[in-house]
Amino acid sequence: MSDKPNLEEVTSFDKSKLKKTETKEKNPLPSQESESGRAGGFQEGLIWALFSMWFGIALNVVFFLFFIFFPQHLHMFFRMEGRRL
């Protein structure tokens, strides 16, 4: 093997033998109009995420308080047949 590549094939290449093809971009870049509308979607997503986080915390607090004040109802959520606290 030599250090220099063989350029014979490249120099004798004939472009006229190539077929003409139509190319179409599969994933076009979004336009600026759609990008400006996307910022509002981000804010709505953030509001939804904060609301769902708050709702999850509030639901945990409600269950915690329910089980603190009404421990006899634990069997409804956990299989504790015949056992009392």
Domain boundaries along the sequence of the chain: 52-85
Percent of the chain with pLDDT over 90: 14
1 against 2, higher pLDDT: 2
24 against 52, higher pLDDT: 52
Find all residues with CB under 8 Å of 74, minimum gap 6, and list them: 67, 80, 85
- What's this model's pTM, rounded to 2 decimal places? 0.38
Start-to-end Cα distance in the chain:
84
As a whole number of angstroms, the distance between CA 33 and CA 29 comes to 12
